[in-house]
Amino acid sequence: MILDYIANLEALPEPNTSVQILDRRRFFGGTGGNIARIAARLGVATALASFVGEDFPAEYRDALAADGVDLTDLRVVQGVSTPTAWIFTDRRGNQVAIVDQGPMKFAGRYEVLTHTLESSEIVHLGTGRPEYYSKIAALATKLGKRIAFDPSQEIHYVYTATSFKRLLARAHFFFGNEVEMKRALGFVRRRRPVDLLEWVEVVVMTRGGKGSTILSAEGKIEIPVIKSRRVVDVTGAGDAYRAGFYAGLSRGFDLRRCGLLGSAVAGFVIEKRGTQTNVPTWEQAVARAARHATF
């Protein structure tokens, strides 16, 4: 759970230089909050387990609850601030993010939040501390739950090869963009995304404007970008894709249609600034995805 401060720039600065911010706003965000809220809006039963600070906005909690997210395991930690991200995007869609993890920096000390584990079919491990997620993954495995491993941008500065491989070995799904996939492959000393199928059943690689690729024992599926009406802000597109993917998976759709739904939902989110500002209904997502398949 994170508060996003999104700023738009003409171009990202070079080291030791300054640039002017074109505009900036605060939005509700964080990978967990984004995925849970968007998936819930699409009809998926979701529960969110996260640690926030004393300054966590009541209106964010209310918005999540209003969309049907189970917040039993949303815990306030005294004496710390809510995780915050400052995200800078240039006109070409390049991004730099600076993240304060808040209470999540100390998550290794916290108790395992079991309600979300027990009530979920798929346990999605997003941004967070690997030492905490190792405990989550061990219990999820014991309970017979399927695990999706999605370290996102934190794969670059939170994980080591050892902590990454420990969680990958427990997972059934692995999500990442092209840059994150390269880092993952470096950790396991492999060269191709398909090589990750040695550990997981499904690999989902998002590729920005080039679409996405889904890999499984059934082969390689290329998912096209589903055209948006306009592109305003690409922040949160990956989270929206995952929510759409889960919306399809929860309804028993095959991987191709899950990917198309992910692409469609991402296409809506990037039409407005903010990761939760332009969330489609299930019917709207299906209407766009239906350009490429029958639902």
Q: Among all residues, which ones are annotated catalytic?
A: 239
Residue 202 contacts residue 254 (beta carbons within 8 Å) = no
The C-alpha angle with vertex 285 and arms to 281 and 291, in degrees rounded to 5, equals 155
Least Cα distance to 279 among 295, 267, 290 occurs for 267
Token output for 210: 């080039």
Write down the residue that tokens 């070409």 correspond to. Answer: 92
In the chain, at which residue ranges do the beta strands (DSSP E only) sit? Answer: 2-9, 21-29, 47-52, 70-76, 84-89, 95-100, 122-125, 146-149, 173-177, 202-206, 212-216, 219-223
Indicate the SS3 state at residue 150: coil
Find the helix packing angle between 161-168 and 178-188, rounded to 10°.
100
d(CA 196, CA 211): 20
Sequence-ordered list of residues with C-beta below 8 angstroms from that of 215, at least 6 positions apart, any chain: 193, 194, 196, 197, 202, 203, 204, 205, 221
The DSSP line for 10-43 is: SSPPPTT----EEEEEEEEE-HHHHHHHHHHHTT
Residue 266 contacts residue 237 (beta carbons within 8 Å) = yes
